[in-house]
Amino acid sequence: MAIYGSLNATNGIINAIKGIVNEIKRIINARNGIINAIKGVLDAIDGILKAIYGIISAIQGIINAINGIINAINEIVNATNVIINSINGIFNAIYGIAKAINTIVEAIYGIIRLINGMVNAMYADVMAIYDICMSCLMACTTLLCHL
Mind listing the pLDDT tens digit of every residue in the chain (147 residues)?
677 677 788 888 888 888 888 888 998 888 888 888 889 888 888 888 899 888 889 989 988 998 998 788 767 776 667 777 788 988 898 898 889 888 888 987 887 788 788 877 887 877 887 788 888 878 888 877 776
Nearest C-alpha neighbor of 144 from the set 15, 20, 25? 15
pLDDT given at position 60: 92
Predicted confidence at residue 92, as pLDDT, reads 92
Q: Which helix (H) or strand (E) holds 50?
A: helix 2-76
End-to-end CA distance of the chain: give it in Å, rounded.
13
What pLDDT does residue 78 have?
A: 61
Distance CA 49, CA 56 (A): 10
What range does the domain containing 15 cover? 2-146
Task: Provide the number of structural domains found in the chain.
Answer: 1
